Amino acid sequence: MPWDVLSDEQREIRELVRTLTRERIAPRAAEIDESSEFPWDMVELFREHELLGLPFEERHGGTGTGTLTLLVAIEEVSRACATSGLILAVQELGALALKLAGSDPQKERWLPRLASGEWLAAYALTEPGSGSDSAAMRTVARRDGDGYVLDGGKRFITNAGVAGLYTVFAKTDPEAGHGGISCFVVEADAPGLEIGRIEPKMGIKGSTTGEVFLDGCRVPAESLVGSEGEGFRIAMRVLDRSRPGIGAQALGIAQGATDYALEYAKTRETMGKPIAQHQLVAAKLADMETACEAARGLLYRFGQMADDGVDGPELTKASAMAKLHCSDTAMWVTTEAVQILGGYGYIKEYPVERMMRDAKITQIYEGTNEVQRLVIAREMVREARSSLLAGVA
């Protein structure tokens, strides 16, 4: 057996997901892209095989298998279908606030429904005027009797219209910046929660990305996650742990494109030999494979750190590096894959143009790659590390 960083249990789960991907997900990927319809059949498949339980502990009905295993599953699914891989990643994203900052009664109430896949989750932070700058959000939550009333609007929310539960960030103190933000769980049928436009997109077309309006949306006081004013801290802790899920999606796309380009290059002949034997093509393939393996190293290291209980600035930096490198790799590798297929790479009969379109979003959502670079550099400056030049006049 080839050397592998994964445990026996992790390898077994990867094998299960790989088989499902090959037999059930890959044959649907082009149709999902073409129709731009949310793939409920993939959700059903994940439910049947308990894959939506991967982000959750056993006591909440999950598999209790940890972060690295989840990342491997997202990677495997995304090798064939980035839309389907995103379903697993967003189940984690939408649940993380509850997992990290929810009370026991909140966890017992909501997490089992997410772990079984009965409900999908969504994470609603972005607004029309606040993406990278989330402190500029305008959605407000006003205390009213035994609950809160939310007013405002969120944009670009993955799983809008298909989620059963939305993690929503709103200002309980509109005059304050970061410190005025609070976090709420809002069920899809809460009065005043309306779904607006679902955006047509370049890639991950089966995933819904939409507006979520909160118009006098009343929620009980027990919907507040953590305490008032703690929302920004929760939102950032969530992203620290969820961004590598996008890294895993990106790595899956990159590996899928590399594998496809390799197979193509072994059979397509020009000037009397397979193009894989032309040195310029061979070099591309070697660089693509190396880039994927390097990205995997960063991603799995993050998974192991999270499973070992590492937290704080070290985890933040590892998370940002994994997301940044995996997504830049995906964009570059898929562009090279299109090049290797020549004209065939540009047409829809072959999957690499879809992979290239799907790759682009991984550099944008859950914090753009510019923001990831800011985060990494901030942690570098903060770290008290010794330099070989220290003390040199």
209 binds ligand FAD (CB under 6 A): yes
For residue 368, state whether it binds ligand FAD (rule: CB under 6 A): yes
Structure tokens at 268: 């397509």
**Binder of ligand FAD out of 114, 365, 372, 375 (CB under 6 A):** 365
Query: Residue 118: what residue type?
Result: E
Of 194, 370, 377, 383, which one interacts with ligand FAD (CB under 6 A)?
A: 370
CB of 125 to ligand FAD, least distance (A): 3
Report which residue's Cβ sits closest to ligand FAD.
131
Min separation Cβ 77 and ligand FAD, Å: 17
Nearer to ligand FAD by Cβ, of 16 and 364: the residue is 364
Query: How near is the Cβ of 58 to ligand FAD at its closest, in Å?
Result: 27
Asked if 156 is part of the footprint of ligand FAD (rule: CB under 6 A), the reply reads yes
* 67 lines the binding site for ligand FAD (CB under 6 A): no
> Which residue, 350 or 365, has its beta carbon nearer to ligand FAD?
365
CB 361 → ligand FAD: shortest distance, Å?
Answer: 5
Residue 143: CB minimum distance to ligand FAD, A: 24
Residue 8, number of CB atoms within 10 A of its CB: 7
- What is the SS3 assignment for the chain? CCCCCCCHHHHHHHHHHHHHHHHHHHHHHHHHHHHCCCCHHHHHHHHHCCHHHCCCCHHHCCCCCHHHHHHHHHHHHHCCCHHHHHHHHHHHHHHHHHHHHCCHHHHHHHHHHHHCCCCCEEEECCECCECCCHHHCCCEEEEECCEEEEEEEEEEEECCCCCCEEEEEEECCCCCCHHHEEEEEEECCCCCEEEEEECCCCCCCCCCEEEEEEEEEEEEHHHEECCCCCHHHHHHHHHHHHHHHHHHHHHHHHHHHHHHHHHHHHHCEECCEEHHHCHHHHHHHHHHHHHHHHHHHHHHHHHHHHHCCCCCHHHHHHHHHHHHHHHHHHHHHHHHHHHHCHHHHHCCCCCHHHHHHHHHHHCCCCCCHHHHHHHHHHHHHHCCCCCCCCCCC
For ligand FAD, the closer of residues 61 and 226 by Cβ is 226
CB of 367 to ligand FAD, least distance (A): 6
- Count of residues engaged in binding ligand FAD, rule: CB under 6 A: 20
- Whole-angstrom distance, CA of residue 102 vs CA of residue 57: 14
Least separation, in Å, of the C-beta of 110 and ligand FAD?
A: 18
Choices 48-56, 144-152, 155-163, 321-329; region in contact with ligand FAD by CB under 6 A? 155-163
Residue of 9, 118, 366, 370 marked catalytic: 366
Tell whether residue 364 is a contact of ligand FAD (CB under 6 A).
yes
Q: Does 125 contact ligand FAD by CB under 6 A?
A: yes
Of these, 123, 148, 184, 300, which contacts ligand FAD (CB under 6 A)?
A: 123
Distance (Å, whole) CA 32 – CA 47: 18
**Quick check: 157 binds ligand FAD (CB under 6 A)?**
yes
The reply to whether 366 belongs to the active site is yes
Q: Does 124 bind ligand FAD (CB under 6 A)?
A: yes
Q: Does 126 bind ligand FAD (CB under 6 A)?
A: yes
Which residues are known catalytic residues? 366
Binding interface with ligand FAD (CB under 6 A): 123-126, 131-132, 156-158, 201, 209, 361, 364-368, 370-371, 374
